[in-house]
Structures are given as C-alpha cells and as structure tokens.
Structure 1
Amino acid sequence: MGLTDFWKGRRVFLTGHTGFKGSWLSLWLERLGADVAAVSLAPETEPSLYRKLAPWDNRSHHIIDIRDAGALLDVVRGFEPEIVIHMAAQALVRRSYENPAETFSTNVMGTANILDAARQAPSVKTVLVITSDKVYANNGSGIPFVETDTLGGKDPYSNSKACTELVCQSYRDSFFKARGIQLATVRAGNVIGGGDWSKDRLIPDFIRAFESNQPILLRYPEAVRPWQHVLEPLGGYLAFAEALTLGSDRKLPDTLNFGPHPESFATVSELAEALGRAHRVEDVWRLAPGEHLPEAPALTLSSALAFDTIGWRPRLSLQQTIDWTAAWYRANREGEDMRAFSLGQIAAYEEALS
C-alpha cells in the first residue's frame, strides 16, 4: 500500500486539526497537495505541535467548537468539500471522568453535527470518522478485537466513542446510503509520536519527567496496550478514504481497525523502560501512589481486515516507533526546525510504504 497522487487538489474538510493526530494529518495532507478547510478548538497545550509545525499554507483555518452546528454548516457549505475527516474529540479517559457531560456532548453530539453538515452538502462523497480502539466491550482477556466484536466502554470516554459508532450507523442507514455517500469509522491503537504534550498520556508524561530529572509515575504498569507511531494509523486513514472515494471491486467495510503488529503489544512499564533506554535513563518509573480510576488491564487490536481489504499493514516495529519518537523530542530540545524535521519523518514513512 503506497500513497498516490489522489490527494493533490482534493478538497478535504478536517476537524480537530490543532490536536496531536490532527496536526500530523494536517501536515501530511499539505505535503500531498490537498486543499484543506479545518475546524477545531484552539490548541490546548503549550508547547503545541500545531504551532510548532507552522506556517500553514493552502488551507483555511477556523476556531469552532463542533457543538456549534450552525457554524460548522456555514464552513462546509462555503468550502464544498469532497471528503470529510472527523478527528475532533474529547480524547482523554481521565478527563472524561472529571467532565462526563462535556465528553458525551463533544464526542456524540459534535459528531452528529458534523454528519448533519455533510448530509446537507451536495459536494460530499466520503466521510471518515475517527473513533477509538476503546469502543469495544472489554473483559480484559487480551484477545485482539476484530471489527465485529461487541461495542461497549465503561468509562465515559470509551462509551462516548461507542455511541459515536452508533450515530454513524444511523446516519449511514438513514441518509447517506441513499445518496451514495460513503461513511466509515476507524479505530486505532494507542498512538505515540513526537509533539504530544497532553496530560495523562505516557509519552508526554515521560518527557516532562525526563526534563525534570524525575522518574515517571505509572498508574497501571502491567496494563497491555497496542502501541503504534502516529503515522501508522494516519496512513491507514488516508488509504481508506481514498479507497472509499474511488470505489472498489469488492465491498469495503463500514469500519476498520488500524493497530500495530502483535509484537508491538507491550505493557506500560515495558514501553516506559524502552523510552528510558532511548534517553539513557536508568531510574525510569515508580508506581503512582493512591487509588486510581479503573482502566482495562489489556487492550489489543487485530488489523487483518485492513490488510485484506485495502492492503494496509503496520510498517514500524515497536523499537522504531520509540526511536522515531525519541528523535523528535531530542530534535525539539536542540532547537531544530520541527516543521522540517516532521516533514522528514513523513517522507521516511512514505518510503516505507512504497
């Protein structure tokens, strides 16, 4: 699976472009020559990957809350996109416990507003909605989830993303099929990479601890997660959106998992220790004191369907993922041009795709 010239000049409406994954996808779409209109809240962290990657060219940028249906519709109607990629979300599990209503209103009603705007735009051919690997009803067995497994989610974030899947199913069956609009959802693993400064995520927590010369505090060191570099699922999203737009000889699925090779499944402590080795740190982590909000002890994904239908497979090993991530933060500390450095990592990943 390699990227083609499909995206050059393609009109793409993107949400969540100021976030971690959204900033990387924005840069990649710009490199591919897409014409992008983007909406999001202002960057929530300082430093911010979005600001690090500036200046931005060949696209319009709007600070809009996706819960504002009227503002969204105005942008979509004015831009007339062919493809909608919806990434905006309240994406933090611990924050969802603190603000469950905000999480549901953003992730569920925000998605409904995006789909409703797409429904009213004659130009739209394809809608891709990014949900989460946490949409599945998880009994902690560690068996990799496949796309047909039961949806669930105990915490507000996971449950809101499962609800998002149902909203998409309703819009697909009620409106989009009759108009020939392709609507699909995608579920990625635990995404890491350079430029993430969010709270309560392993990589930014490690970087903050490293820069403070302190060990990182881990809540659940033995929890198993499907770690993958941010460019892996983003490459899958681009390939899937292209296939949906162009059509295929075989029926494409309504949803796909994009996870790492099973060899990249690892515990939280194993990843922390690998990060420590990459940064030449010996005293890497401590068990965080006190009681902690519940999290699934194991979560893994099967990406077999993505390979069978669109030819996608992960290209980077866990060690490469860690090396690329460590290299990004090292370059940032050393004052390099992070837009140029990030474009270099995208170019290297494109070579791995070919």
Structure 2
Amino acid sequence: MLVTGAHGFVGGHVAAAVRAGVYGSDAQFLAAPEGLDIRDEAGLAALIEESKPDSVLHLAAQSFVPRSFENPRETFEINAIGTLNLLVALKRSGFAGRFVYASSGDVYGRVPESELPVSESRIPEPLSPYAASKIAAEQLCLQWHRSEGWDAIVARPFNHIGPGQDARFVVPALARQVVAIASGKRPPVVDAGDIDTTRDFTDVRDIAAAYASILRHGRPGRIYVVGSGQERKVRDLLWTMCELAGIKAEVRQDPAKLRPTEQRRMAADASLLREDTGWSPSITIETTLSDILKYTRTHP
C-alpha cells in the first residue's frame, strides 16, 4: 500500500496501525519519500514505476485552512493538480488496485443547525479555497472511477485530533497552554477564540482504522463521511484537559482567533461507513486528550 503524505500527522498514525496489524497481517506500508512534492510529475512517475503499489491511500495535502486563503493557488496546485498528477502516474503504470482519497468534512461549508448531522447526501458548499480544492480532487478521483473503471473511493473525515497534530490547530494549541500552566511556565489564563463552537472530534487513530476498513470493505465509487457522530464543545475539551492536568484556569478571548463566519455547530453522520464496513470509533475522548497532553509534555 502506497501512502502519500506518509510523514504527516495522519500518515504517522496509519504507519503505526499497519505495524499493529489493523490493515491486515500481510499489509505493507510504502511511504512516499519525505520531501517528494506531489506537484513534481516526474518524481511521482518514478516513484510509482519503482514501487508498483497494489493500493493507494492518498493523504498528501495542504490542509491548513487559513493558509489556503493566503495562497489559494498553492493550495489548488497541491490538492487538486497534485492529485491529478498522482492519478496520471498510476494510470501510466497500469495500476489496478484500490485508490482511497482522503478529502475533508470541511467541504460542506456552513450547514443549518436544523440539518445536522451531516451525511453524504448533503451537497457540498465549500467556504474556503482549501475546501474547494478538496471537492475538485474528489471529482477527479470519482471521474477516474466513472470513465476509467477505477476502484476509487472518497473519504470525508471530520475533525480528527490526537498526539502529534500541528500546534496551529485548536486542540493542540490549547494543550500547549494547559501544559505550560501546569508546569508553572505561564499564569493560569488560556488565550482562545470562540470555544463554544461544537465540532465532531474523532481520534486520529480511529480515523486510521476507518481508512483500513474502507480499503478492505468500502464500495467502489462511494463517498464516506468519517466521524464520531458526537458533537462536542471546544470549551468542554479544554476543561477536560485542565482536569487531567490538575489545574484550574480562566479563558481570555483573543479577538485575533475569532472567525465571524465560523460554523457554530457541527456533527457527522457516519452510518453509511458503519453499514458498509463495520467501522466505529473505539477510543474515548478522555484517552485522546490524555495522550495529547502526554505528547505535548515531551514535544514542547
């Protein structure tokens, strides 16, 4: 199995899941070389020709939403054109295996609260260049399924968290502050944006297991929402981390972290994935947050 983006946050957990047998006893993890730019057509072609993968999990992406507004062209070149480059390289090599594309639940944009939770049947309405680029890449993969007969599947994971996530994202950013307060390196005040928004948070290790289930049991040409089905306030996650760390803190709202158009509530409906593959998340939110704090302590 070739994994693009193998050296990123999710890729590292996929590698661990392969070693643990989650992807099957005979699964082999083939990482696209660190530093390989998916926009490099020649480099991709050489990798595919040399590795001859029997399946592909395509994780590589520019996934930070604010950066997509700063540089939308880069985001499209990586997420959409990079995906096209990979598909073309695989086609030229005679690839005939399963291709799973990791998209994002962010493609749905703003969803009325009365229409939650979100399932595959909802029409995407992207609100960022990142989300729009993901839709473009999805359709490329599904077009390959329709016109080329490929065994291609799209996964739309919602927010995933866990040890090793970039501190630009909300939960690890809060965890850093909690750890600093617990160690006496900062006063008991957490700077945050609007932490009363809700999201569907899933442990990244459960996401890695979901990809394994899709590779084994998913149906070709389908789109699968991946999420816990539970709506959680960011504030509740913060208080749980404070409790786990043995501290009390107040929240100071940082205007720079506020997003006026942000979705207030979000929840996912992953029932189709559960029906087709049997997958469901198994890691408790307390375990996830505890592991994030442990990681943060050792990786300042």
In the alignment, what sits opposite 1:49?
A: none
1:63 match: secondary structure: coil
What is the distance in 1 between the residues matched to 2:80 and 2:106?
15
Find the aligned partners of 2:139 and 2:12 in 1 and give their Cα distance. 27
Alignment of 1:1-354 (within 5 A): 12-32=1-21, 34-39=27-32, 61-141=33-113, 143-175=116-148, 177=149, 181-199=150-168, 201-210=169-178, 211=180, 212-213=185-186, 215-244=189-218, 254-262=222-230, 265-290=231-256, 292-293=258-259, 294-330=261-297, 332=298
Q: How high is the sequence identity, in percent, across the aligned residues?
A: 23
> Which stretch of the first structure deviates more once superposed, 152-161 or 24-33?
24-33
| Structure 1 unaligned regions, length at least 5 | 1-11, 40-60, 245-250, 335-354
Secondary structure of the 1:313 match is coil
CA 1:74–1:252: 2 relative to 1, 3 Å: closer
- Per the alignment, in what secondary structure is the counterpart of residue 134 of structure 2? helix
C-alpha separation between the residues in 2 aligned to 1:291 and 1:302?
28
Deviation at 1:18, TM superposition (A): 1.3
Q: Which amino acid aligns with 1:37?
A: L
For residues 242 and 290 of structure 1, do their structure 2 counterparts lie closer, same or farther at Cα, with a shift above 3 Å needed? closer
Provide, for residues 202-256 of structure 1, a one-character-per-residue CA deviation record: whole Å limited to 9, x for no partner: 2221233232425332222121100111111110101110225xxxxxx556111
Paired with 2:173 and 2:34, the residues of 1 have a C-alpha distance of 29
Change (3 A) 1:28 1:237: same
Q: Alignment RMSD, CA only?
A: 2.2
Asked if 1 retains the 8 angstrom alpha-carbon contact of 2:41 and 2:85, the reply is yes
Whole-angstrom CA distance in 2 between matches of 1:318 and 1:81? 35
Supply the AA of the counterpart residue of 1:27.
Answer: A
Paired with 2:34 and 2:281, the residues of 1 have a C-alpha distance of 33
Flag the 1:127–1:284 CA change in 2: closer, same or farther, 3 A. farther
Letter in 1 for 2:58: H
Cα distance in structure 2, aligned partners of 1:309 and 1:105: 33
- Partner Cα distance (1:140, 1:113) in 2: 36
Aligned length: 288
Amino acid at match of 2:71: N
SS at 2:29's partner residue?
A: strand
Which stretch shifts more, 74-83 or 210-219?
210-219
* Whole-Å separation in 2 of the counterparts to 1:170 and 1:284: 50
Instruction: Show structure 2 runs of 5+ residues with no match.
Output: none
Once the two structures are superposed, residues 98-139 of structure 1 have per-residue CA deviations (whole angstroms, 9 ceiling, x without a partner) of: 211111111111111111122222243110000111111423
> Which amino acid counterpart does residue 99 of structure 2 have in structure 1?
V
Secondary structure of the 2:143 match is helix
Does the 8 Å contact 1:168/1:183 carry over to 2?
A: yes
Cα distance in 1 for partners of 2:34, 2:201 equals: 31
SS of 2:287 mapped into structure 1: helix
* 3-state SS in 2 of match to 1:315: coil
SS in 2 for 1:316: coil
CA contact (8 A) 2:38 2:85 kept: yes
Q: TM-score of the superposition, structure 2-length normalised?
A: 0.88
